[in-house]
Amino acid sequence: MILSGMTTERTVHILWDTSRIWGLMAWRALKTLGYACRLSKGLEIADGILLGKPADSPPAAMLLVPGGSAALKARALGRRGMQAIRAFVAGGGGYLGICGGAGLGLKSRDAGTSLGLCPWSREGYPERLQHLISGHLRAVTVKGELSLPVWWPGRFSPQEGSDVEILATCLHPDADFWLADLPLSTIPPHVIEMWRTVYGADLSARFLENRPLMISGSFGKGRYVLSYPHLETPDSPQANSWLRELLDELSGGAAPRALAITPRNASEKDASHDALPTVPSWNLDGVPCAWPDVELAEPLVRAMRLTRALFDTGALHHLCVRRTPWLWGWRSGYPGAPLNYLHTALCTAVSLEPSTRALALWRDTRADFSRMADTFASGAEDFLLTYRLSEALGPTAPHVIDRKDLQERSMAIFGRHMTGGGLLEELLDRTEQLILLSQDKPFHC
């Protein structure tokens, strides 16, 4: 698919810091639905970009904060950035927080870690496994019963007497629902019940029933919507249609609409203006290189292929599985989340025509990036295969592989799922900087 450049009119701003795959997914969704949007850093928000500062920046139509760690987003914004968002919404702006962005909009004990747009707070899960939920849920909503996608969400802690509207409430899991790396639909109900009775492990997902998934309210003159469902998920028609309505409402109709972008290989029906407004499937196989100088882009392309090869290696050894065209699922212990982050960023950077500023940065850092990518790929492959060996030897020779050493190697290479770190984060940060500098250029992904 080819996505066009930016407009100088009022735009939907997307907080870029620490959003990883979720920021890319939100940006792609808005582009394909035809909205003018801009990736904005926390420091820019702190300096007033939502209110049209500097003078050549048009005021924001609304702010969308994608998934990712709410704590890391708060750190990137700083107190000035957090206050700038509150002032923007209080003055009449719209705020759409998705997953981590929803958590950021809630109230917390530490005012420096949340925006406090909503008087509700975040409620933890009694068991770690309950947080590891993903896939589609059936939900009763203000629009009727819908199938909505969630990707490892938090959950709301309702507060009585608060003026908060519940827009969606969970009914039960849909067909593609997973708990950790277990596809729930493949486990017979009587087995789930036996596990609960004998072992005390409840995989029924009853803990989700009748829980609020999506809420809305007012803050000053503005409005917020906080959604644990990822309405921007590719190829999720009901969620995507609702996303478009919310974007129109929260921007007050101020966000300009261009013709929606037609995806690669889309059928005539899919491309029709009468079709349901859907974010097309995000196929990361065979991503074309949009760089005019293919040789210059070679280290970036190689890094993309090496990262994909790590998933292929994991699949051969039953550590991961291709879950969707844009997301790999993984077994517990496999660093699937950060690898997904890096892979989608590399695919996007390869398919995005570089700007003059991005080219200048790349020429300065290309050689270092190339060495770093090769070191990462080699170290990651060694770790993954050693991890697989450790699993194989575990029942008979558990002390052959030092688990503590393996964990330390994982941290050095992949960092942590939510807080980042490691060599992977260095590659990811550099790749995301190229994307940020070229966000007004066309891309094919």
Residues 45 and 172 grouped into a single domain: yes
Classify residue 139: in a domain, yes or no: yes
The torsion region of residue 285 among left (phi > 0), alpha (psi -120 to 50) and beta comes to: beta
- The domain boundary, picked from 271, 288, 323, lies at 271
Residues 11 and 155 grouped into a single domain: yes
Residues 310 and 410 grouped into a single domain: yes
Here the CATH number for the domain that contains residue 21 is 3.40.50.880
Strand blocks (E) in 228-327: 320-322
End-to-end CA distance of the chain: 5
Q: Tell me the per-residue pLDDT of 316-333, one tens digit each, with 9 for 90 and over.
A: 999 999 999 999 999 988
Residues 17 and 99 grouped into a single domain: yes
Classify residue 203: in a domain, yes or no: yes
Residues 191 and 314 grouped into a single domain: no
In the three-class reduction of DSSP (H, G, I as helix; E, B as strand; rest coil), residue 210 is classed as coil
Distance CA 13, CA 64 (A): 6
Number of C-beta neighbours around residue 157 at 10 A: 13
Q: Domain range holding 334? A: 298-444
The torsion region of residue 78 among left (phi > 0), alpha (psi -120 to 50) and beta comes to: left
Classify residue 287: in a domain, yes or no: no
Cβ contact 61:255 at 8 Å: yes
- The domain boundary, picked from 252, 271, 290, lies at 271
Distance CA 130, CA 219 (A): 31
Residues 116 and 254 grouped into a single domain: yes
Classify residue 282: in a domain, yes or no: no
Q: What is the pLDDT of residue 261?
A: 52
Cβ contact 94:63 at 8 Å: yes
State which amino acid sits at residue 400: V
Number of C-beta neighbours around residue 439 at 10 A: 22
User: In the chain, pLDDT over 70 holds for what percent of residues?
Assistant: 92
Distance CA 10, CA 318 (A): 48
Distance CA 296, CA 174 (A): 45
Residues 430 and 375 grouped into a single domain: yes
Q: Where are the alpha helices (DSSP H) in 34-152?
A: 42-46, 70-90, 100-105, 128-131
Number of C-beta neighbours around residue 161 at 10 A: 6
Q: Tell me the per-residue pLDDT of 280-298, one tens digit each, with 9 for 90 and over.
A: 999 999 899 999 999 999 9
- The domain boundary, picked from 226, 253, 271, lies at 271
Residues 243 and 346 grouped into a single domain: no
Cβ contact 56:128 at 8 Å: no
Classify residue 290: in a domain, yes or no: no
- Residue carrying structure tokens 């129109």: 248
Phi then psi for residue 171, to 5 deg, are -100, -60
Residues 323 and 406 grouped into a single domain: yes
Q: Could you please report the per-residue DSSP string of 140-178? A: EEBTEEEEEEEES--EEE--TT---EEEEEEEEE-TT-E
Phi then psi for residue 89, to 5 deg, are -70, -45
Classify residue 414: in a domain, yes or no: yes
Q: pLDDT truncated to tens, each residue of the chain (445 aa)?
A: 444 444 446 799 999 999 999 999 999 999 999 898 999 999 999 999 998 887 667 789 999 999 999 999 999 999 999 999 999 999 999 999 999 999 999 998 877 789 999 999 999 888 878 889 999 999 999 999 999 999 999 999 999 888 999 999 999 999 999 998 999 999 999 999 999 899 988 888 888 899 999 999 999 999 999 999 999 999 999 999 999 999 999 998 766 555 455 555 454 444 444 455 789 999 999 899 999 999 999 999 999 999 999 999 999 999 999 999 999 999 988 899 999 999 999 999 999 999 999 999 999 999 999 999 999 999 999 999 999 999 899 889 888 888 889 899 999 999 887 777 899 999 999 999 999 999 998 878 7
Angle at 147 between CA 144 and CA 148, to 5 degrees: 105
Classify residue 73: in a domain, yes or no: yes
Residues 50 and 152 grouped into a single domain: yes
Q: How many CA atoms lie within 13 A of 219 on its CB side?
A: 25
Residues 129 and 189 grouped into a single domain: yes
Number of domains comprising the chain = 2
Q: What is the pLDDT of residue 256?
A: 57
Residues 95 and 166 grouped into a single domain: yes
Strand partners, 11: 60
Cβ contact 309:320 at 8 Å: no
Strand partners, 185: none
In the three-class reduction of DSSP (H, G, I as helix; E, B as strand; rest coil), residue 257 is classed as strand
Q: What is the pLDDT of residue 202?
A: 84
The torsion region of residue 374 among left (phi > 0), alpha (psi -120 to 50) and beta comes to: alpha
Cβ contact 72:18 at 8 Å: yes
Classify residue 280: in a domain, yes or no: no
Q: Longest C-alpha distance within the chain, in Å?
A: 68
